[in-house]
Amino acid sequence: MNTVFTILIVALGILHLGIMGLEMFASQSTQANAFDMDAEFVAQSGAQTALKNQGIYNGMLGALLVASAFLPAGQVKVLAQLGLALFVLVVGIFGGLTATKKIFLIQALPAAITIALGLLAY
């Protein structure tokens, strides 16, 4: 079960690296579709700046999730991974409530499953 938990943590990390890619490097039409935003809004300079800023946060979170797999086994590793997954869950719930309902499925649900399995594994 510990291996499954670590795989899910890494998968959450890869997911957030992908979200970073969408926010920072995707075309404006792809961003509008992915995030349920109006294309005219996404085309604005301020929106692009905000998306890129959010992208770097998601990228760093993704990198931390992936890097946590390489921590030595023990309580610190488990607590770090559960803490990062809890962060994803809270942000996913907030995003689902305020931005688009898709975030519940894409971000919050995977985090909730990961946390549940992590708690069962330890």
Predicted confidence (pLDDT) per residue in 55-87, tens digit: 999 999 999 999 999 999 999 999 999 999 999
Give mean pLDDT, residues 9-23. Answer: 98
C-alpha span between 65 and 71 (Å, rounded): 11
| CB-based contact 18:61 (threshold 8 Å) | no
Phi, psi of 27 (to 5 degrees): -65, 160
Give mean pLDDT, residues 42-46. 98
Mean pLDDT of 12-26: 98
Q: How confident is the model at residue 1 (pLDDT cuts 50, 70, 90)?
A: confident
pLDDT at 122: 83
